[in-house]
Structures are given as structure tokens and as C-alpha cells.
Structure 1
Amino acid sequence: MEKVIIVFAFMLFAARSGWCETATPPLVVDFYNGLCSDIDVEATVGSVIASLYEQDPTIAAALLRLQFHDCFVRGCDASILIDGHDTEKTSPSNRMVRGFDVIEAAKSSLEAICPGVVSCADIIIMATRDAVSLAGGERYTVQTGRRDGTVSVAADVKTPAASISVTDSIKVFGDKGLTPTDMVYLLGAHTIGVARCSTFEDRLYNFSNTGEPDPTMDPTLRATLIDSCPRDITTDEDTVDLDQDPSSSSIVDSSYFKQILLNRGILQIDQELALDQWTQPIVNAIVQRSDFATRFGEAMVKLGAVEVLTGEQGQVRQFCNRIIEQQK
């Protein structure tokens, strides 16, 4: 692998903010101000995402999933982007994750005007925020200053399954420092995007090996889904919208929560949010309130702060799919 000298943005940040060299700085808003001359890093990323979103609006859901899958393995360090044998990208759980080319496009634009400064980990966070905004959500303020990880192992990927119980899901999110309320809002990302039929086929035909459909699913919805998802599906091409309100399935809003209260959730974990004693009150509150967009953004910011690398940790990759070999 070609050896590249890494430009460490941390030293500039330390001088600017007064951090001592031994301290680990936190994430901050506008971390890149002044580090790329007069270039607006966030606006540069935003311009790339806006152009790509215009061509393919589904990148919003793709980037939400990409950020989630990255942050839940070794933290938000862009380790999911790394190519190679047995990396996170090769895990079966990440087989349908996409958006890697979107992050690489934003990285290429930044490298052309400000090389070696902006991390891929930060680009994921900024790009996802911009895509959410373009999809009708609120443009929340992100914190930056992450570094890119240098470890990516497929065996580390343990992304929660669609059939996970609410209790187990609360524990998984809790292990990342996220509350049950954070969890419910973050699962609200299912307000856009699709689910493969194979991920919920059992709910249609053989729930919990009973030979019967899931009794919690609205019968009218089931009848519709059977047309889209025939039994014993063998491909990943058949999909349905996660938000079953056709007028809202591509918009970041609270419609998903209204649907699950009507027993029209697609994934098992989605429906159980509206039925479980711990999460049902949260779902009800979201539907009754009018600030989903704001609170969703706050939850995304918390997700983006999970186990991050900052300061002299990690590196800033020149290409997001390759780890930089350190000079010795």
C-alpha cells in the first residue's frame, strides 16, 4: 500500500482551542472552521449530497442505515467503509448496506481542495444530516472532529436483527450509551426506506413457527404484503416501504409511528415498539407532539458521538475505503 504522510488537524485544533497535547478533545460544532483556509467544509459536503440526492432520493435512507451500521461497530469511525478480506463491509449483516460511493464522492471533493484534513467518519455524519434535511427532516447541527478507525473486522458486526425483542434492543442501545427514548427516535429512521421481504416473511406466513401469521399485524396490511412478498422468497429484490403511508413513505416525519400504532409496522421490532409497556408511551408521545424532527436530530447527534476517535487517535484517510499505512 502506498505510504502517505497524514496531515493531523488535531494540532491546529489544539492551538486554536487551548487543549493540551495529552488531552482528548471532544467533538465540537464547526471543528473545521479555519482548517481549510476559507473553504466551508460542511457546505462542500452538502453540495455533493444535494446533487446526488436529486439523482437518487433513496440515498437518504441508505445513509441513515450506513451511519447506524458504522456507529454500532467500534463506534462512529468509518470502519464500515474499508475494503478488504473479512472487513465489516463483507459481513452478511452489511450485505444490503449502500451509500459507500456517496461518501467517497464527498471525500474526493474535499481532498481536491483541502487534502488530508476531513475524516471519512465526519463525512458520514455530515452527509447523513444533509440527506435527512433534503428528505423533509430538520437540518440539525452536527458536531465534528472524529478520526477514522484503523480496524475493520467482519466478526465484530453484530447489528440487531429485525426480530429482536424490545427488551434486548434496549440493552443493545444502552450498551452504546443510548436511552430507550433515543432508541425509539432512532428507529424512527424507518420513516423512509424499504425492507426486504425476507426480513419479515415469517410474520406473514409462519410467525414464531406457529404456521400462522403474526396476530399483531393488521389483516388488511397482510393481504397487501402477500401480493408483494410471495412465500419462500429466495431473492433480495422484493421490498416494501417501511412506512406504509404512501403519501409519506419518502419523507422524514412521524408517520411511521402513526402506522405502528395502527398495527401496520413491517418489521417485528417496529410493531413491538407500539405494543411493549416500556416503549408504547414513548410512541404515543411522539405522535401527540409536533417536534419529531427536532428530537430525531438530537438522537442522531447522540448516535454520532458513540465511541468516537478524536485528537491523536485513529487517522484521516486519503481514500475512505483504504487505511493509511503509517510511515515508520
Structure 2
Amino acid sequence: MLRVIDLVTEFHTENGVVRAVDSISFNLASGETLGLVGESGSGKSVTNLTIMGLLPGTARVPQGSVLYKGRELLGCTEKDLRAIRGREIAMIFQDPMTSLNPFLRVSRQLTEVLEVHLGMSRAEARAASISMLEKVGIPDPANRIDSYPHELSGGMRQRVMIAMALLCNPSILIADEPTTALDVTIQAQILDLMRELIGAMETAMVLVSHDLGVVAGMADRVVVMYAGKMMEEGPTERIFERPSHPYTLGLLRSIPRLDDTPQERLHSIEGLPPDPANLPPGCPFAPRCPFRMDACLEEFPVAREVEPGHRIRCHADVGPDDADAFWTPAEEFQNVETREAP
């Protein structure tokens, strides 16, 4: 249904060109949920903004292709994109308070979607909007629909955003950190709601999150990103049970465990992400990687298949048993020697 092929997105800044997304490729099948994971600045959100055609004026896409049902979206006119956005591909943004117009009642913001995309009358659109608010768990939707965004709680505003995104029964839903601004209890409710609705509507979803637990519970497949590049891609169960890229190993090891002792320090990946305006040669993760070889500092590897449907971009051969490498104390980590490339 959706194919992203060798996508590159750059930003022109005062300090030069910043490549935020670098040669990303993935497919999204009908009814499938794909998780995009990685730390802040890895290019997850920019990838989705590129798909939606919502990049700012300082950005450009010099390379790649975004195909929706065989149709190229890159280069489409704004008029053509408006016919697709909301109607066939919808998006839920991180912060509903900044995504909803504070000066308009919820009713106007919902009904406008149906009037523009489906040609409904005001009365028809209002009735359909109330019905959708009820589906997303808004109590007393016939009255709440006339509220302003600031009159609703954070959880209610996010439910309104979900309702708005699903009003036209889109083929694809892009959810960009949909629960970041919510407390843990409300997060669980929102995720359960999204899982139920997209399952009933058979909607495909791209789920962006830095929360690996959320992705594990929602996604069928996972793409792990770092510094704008794809590091690992594969079925969710395979990625979590048998990760094959050092960065994925580090991410999974950084999750607190119930069997950790109270005195044990939380584990983390040593070092800092690279400056996107000044990426190192070779693999961008190499300076932080305990498995790095000489080749890692010189050349970023092409994607290779570990198993059918499971790809990595790494020179090393690692597995879940190698996660102990990320337990190395910081003072020792700095002295890890590079390996000779085989």
C-alpha cells in the first residue's frame, strides 16, 4: 500500500546542509502496523512529514520515492496532496493542544474535515462527528463537541485528535508519538483505543515512538533508526527476541528490568548522538559501538538480510547474548579497542 524507497530529506541551515533522513526504505501493507523507533533526532518524525508533504520551506527531498497505491506522492501539487491528506492518509501529532485550533470549537474542527473531504452537509457532518466522539470514548459527546480545546483534559484532546484522524476512514494512519504528553494511565487507555479502532477499520498505521514497550505491543514490524539511517528492520517479535544490530541491543538493554537490584544502575548507551550537521564518516553509531571494527569508521554498510524479512546495516555479527557489552562502565568503555575487519 505504501512504499518508501531510498528517501533522503535535507534541511538548509545557516551551518550548512543537515541530512535528517538518509536513504530510508520500508513497505507498509494493508492493515499492518509499522513501528519507527529511535532516540530523539533519529529522523522518525521528519520521515512522516515527508510522506505527508508537510515539510517546511527550508527542507528539500533530493532523492527517493514515496508511493501510495502505486502513485508517486513526491512532487504532487498541493491541491492533489490536500485530497489525500485526511481522506486517505491521516496523521495524529504529538501535542493535541498545539495541533487543535484554540479559537475554534471542537465541532467546527471536526465537521470541516467531513465537509471538505466527503462533501457532507453541516448537519450530517455534526451527526457523524458526534458518533465518532462516542467511539473514541468521549462522555456526553453531543455536548462536549461544542467545547473549546482548552476546556478538555489532555486525554480528551488526544481522543479528539484520534477522532479527527479517523473520521474519513483513511487507509493509513500516521501516529507521531501519540501519547507522549499523557500520563501513564491515560497512555494505556489511548493505546488500547487506537488498537481497537484501527483493527475494526482495517487501517494500516505507521507508529512513531521512542517507547519500545508501546511498539512491542502495537507493531507488526519495526524499523530502528539512528542519525537519519535505518539500522535494523524486521518482524517485531524477531527484533525484540533476537536483535542483530548493536544499536538495537543497546536500546533494549536500556529498558529497566523488574529483576534488576535496587542498587544496580540503569543501563544506557555511552556517548552522545552525532551532530547531524557534522556526521562522522562510516557508520554514525560507530563512536558509541563496543563492536566497532576498522571498517565501521570508513564505510556505512549496505543492508543485508539476517533472515527472510529481517535486515540490518552493520559489519559485525552480534546477537542478544552480546548485550552484556553495553554493561561496560563508562571509564572502561572509552578504552574499548576497535576490531580488525574480517
The alignment's TM-score, normalised by the length of structure 2, stands at 0.27
Larger Rg: 2
* Structure with higher helix content: 1
Q: Which has the higher contact order (CA 8 A, sep 6+)?
A: 1
* Structure with higher strand content: 2
